[in-house]
Amino acid sequence: MNSNHLLLEEPIRMSSILEPPKPSFFPAMTKIVGTLGPKSRSVEIISGCLKSGMSVARFDFSWGDSEFHQQTLENLKIAVKSTKKLCAIMLDTGGPELQVVNKTEQPISLEADTKVILTPDQDKQATSNLLPINFHGLSKAVKKGDTIFIGQYLFTGNETTSVWLEVAELSGEDVVCLIKNSATLSGPLYTLHVSQIRIDMPTLTDKDKEVISTWGVRNNIDFLSLSYTRHAEDIRHARAFLSKLGELNRTQIFAKIENIEGLTHFDEILQEADGIILSRGNLGIDLPTEKAEKVFNQDLYFKKTVKYVGEPMSHLESIASSAVRAAIKVKASAIICFTSTGRAARLIAKYRPTLPVISVVIPRLKTNQLHWTFSGAFEARQSLIVRGLFPMLADPRHPAESKTGTNESVLKVALDHGKASGVIKPHDRVVVCQKLGDASVVKILELEA
């Protein structure tokens, strides 16, 4: 080899490896839920997040008030219009989260090997010797020798913004603790975690209910992340509450499992929830590191999402399975599914095809006897959280079901959508799943040049 030659010859040059990939409409099959907070709430940053693949915006109500989050949401709406990308809304509840209250917002320095008192008296000022908390039952829930973690971030050994405490003694409602590491706590609120004890507080608190019934109803949230879900009854209670709030009866509930109690009742929670969120940070505090890692590396907690494979399939599921098998067999570049509710497209995505599924959601006209509205936007947004599923809203004048033949105009729009995104190219094969009258049809198209 000539010494002047590069180790990487054309067409693979070093510059091509170092350059970032060109942006794509379908950045990844796995979906991204992004938390919009103080550093990520401007229109510019949110637009960048949407272009990079964020499909669900999470609003964390464990901090910040409704006005703060509403301003962020208004920025999200502007970003959605400018980027022309759909984005769903997830409200994350505060739940029974223990917090240290620092009304002055002044930094608090804690020195190792000294003592600090945790008190439920929130009228007192937070200092290096006294930390007010939002829970009156802590002294009854802990015992001498228990460990308590305070902070917003995981403890690493070099962390100086969070602290480990060891319960030294109990004094009435106060808990006296030995500080295990030096740290400086900054900000108005710090989360407090006690390993492997049950906190006697409702999963859906009064504050959560107020936020959902006001901010949630006003903004017609797509998903509710139920923090600190511990039992299936928590999901049933939340669903019953949502059912009384008009359009929120369609909101999907994701169980957020954050402690060992939730893991213990995982199977029963899975039967009730629309989805599961595993909080690695909080589980890492409630469980030893090696056990927490095991939870995320094994399929024990996920294998039951697809079960009873040997049972007879429903007609719709049989069509979904056939569409995926056909797409794999002919090496299709995409699956196009016409739907009104989104269910057919979600069933296709359930089989985890390695190609994108374009869900063409066609709105339906409905009435509540007072006024007429189109459905469809809500169903499309809820599809944004499903792996490999990319929804688009079609013209409501074209039905999802046809009695005369394929709906060529809507199909053309879907194909143009795929071509514009770079997913579908000339001579590619595409699998189309559509209902014709009373029959469900799966067909294969080969595109012309």
Digit-coded pLDDT (tens) for 243-281: 999 889 999 999 999 888 999 999 999 999 999 998 877
Pull the structure tokens for residue 302.
Answer: 């996920």
Label residue 10 by pLDDT band (50, 70, 90). Answer: very low
Q: Tokens 């405490």, residue?
A: 165
Q: Which residues touch 386 (CB under 8 Å, ≥6 apart)? A: 31, 345, 346, 349
Residue 23 has pLDDT above 70, yes or no: no
Q: Can you tell me the distance from the alpha carbon of 229 to that of 18, in angstroms, rounded to the nearest whole number? A: 43
Strand stretches in 76-211, DSSP E: 88-92, 98-101, 108-110, 115-119, 130-132, 147-151, 163-171, 174-179, 183-185, 189-194
More confident site: 302 or 317: 317
Q: Tokens 């637009």, residue?
A: 47
Q: Can you tell me the distance from the alpha carbon of 390 to that of 359, in angstroms, rounded to the nearest whole number? A: 6
pLDDT of residue 398: 59
Label residue 208 by pLDDT band (50, 70, 90). Answer: very high
Q: Which residues touch 63 (CB under 8 Å, ≥6 apart)? A: 188, 189
CATH assignment of 26-95+202-305, given 3.30.70.20, 3.20.20.60, 2.60.40.10, 3.40.50.720? 3.20.20.60
Nearest to 139 by CA among 111, 114, 168, 115: 168
Query: In this structure, which amino acid lies at residue 282?
Result: N
The fold of 100-194 is M1 Pyruvate Kinase; Domain 3 (2.40.33)
Pull the structure tokens for residue 421.
Answer: 């995104």
Digit-coded pLDDT (tens) for 58-94: 999 988 889 999 999 999 999 999 998 999 999 999 9
pTM of the model: 0.80
Q: Can you tell me the distance from the alpha carbon of 446 to that of 429, in angstroms, rounded to the nearest whole number? A: 4
Say if residues 101 and 66 touch (Cβ distance below 8 Å): no
Could you please report the per-residue DSSP string of 48-77? HHHHHTEEEEEEETTSS-HHHHHHHHHHHH
**Quick count: other Cβ atoms within 10 Å of Cβ 282?**
22
More confident site: 248 or 286: 248
Residue range 313-447 in CATH 3.10.20.90: no
Label residue 19 by pLDDT band (50, 70, 90). Answer: low
Say if residues 50 and 79 touch (Cβ distance below 8 Å): yes
**Fold identical between 26-95+202-305 and 100-194?**
no
Give domain limits for the chain.
26-95+202-305, 100-194, 313-447
Residue 174 has pLDDT above 70, yes or no: yes
In this structure, what DSSP letter does residue 214 have? I
Q: Can you tell me the distance from the alpha carbon of 160 to that of 107, in angstroms, rounded to the nearest whole number? A: 12
